[in-house]
Amino acid sequence: MSDLLFYIGGGTMNRAGIIDTHAHLDDKKFRQDIQNVLKRAAEAGVTRIITMGNDFTASRHACILAEQHPEIYAAVGIHPHEAKEVVPRTLEGLRILAGNSSKVLAWGE
């Protein structure tokens, strides 16, 4: 694991610690304690976290968290169980979110 390299923008390669690729940091239970959540993650060796949006609101919160914290990145999307109900307006909103943030790394939940 110590030899793992990752690329995140800017043309640089860095040594990676643990990358949590599926978190839900937008969850209400983390909102008041996000600094401590991130501190505990760092103490455990987690260097990057990708927080997932599973609807438009959660995707927006994921983007906000990613912009506020250098170790957080976002994925925007819709939960698969809700995919049949998605309207074009929601998809356009997700496209706008993704297009307005360099911290969105993925589409999907």
CB-count burial class (<10 Å; 0-12, 13-18, 19+) for 24: middle
Give the model's pLDDT for residue 109. Answer: 79
Instruction: Give the C-alpha separation, 85 to 28, whole Å.
Output: 24
pTM: 0.82
For the segment 96-106, the average pLDDT, to the nearest whole number, is: 95
Question: Regarding predicted confidence, which is higher, 63 or 15?
Answer: 63
Instruction: Give the C-alpha separation, 38 to 31, whole Å.
Output: 11
Residue 63, pLDDT > 90, answer: yes
**Is the Cβ–Cβ distance between 51 and 66 less than 8 Å?**
yes
Report if residue 82 sits inside a domain.
yes
Report if residue 10 sits inside a domain.
no
Helix (H, G, I), strand (E, B) or coil at 15: strand
The domain that holds 96 is classified in CATH as 3.20.20.140
Give the model's pLDDT for residue 31. Answer: 85
Report if residue 101 sits inside a domain.
yes
Report if residue 53 sits inside a domain.
yes
Element at 16 (helix H, strand E): none
Residue 79 half-sphere exposure toward CB, CA atoms < 13 A:
7
Range of the domain at 27: 18-107
**Residue of 74, 71, 54 whose CA lies nearest to 62:** 74
Element at 96 (helix H, strand E): helix 88-99
Report if residue 2 sits inside a domain.
no
Report if residue 13 sits inside a domain.
no
Report if residue 5 sits inside a domain.
no
Number of domains, the chain: 1
Give the model's pLDDT for residue 4. Answer: 47
Report if residue 35 sits inside a domain.
yes
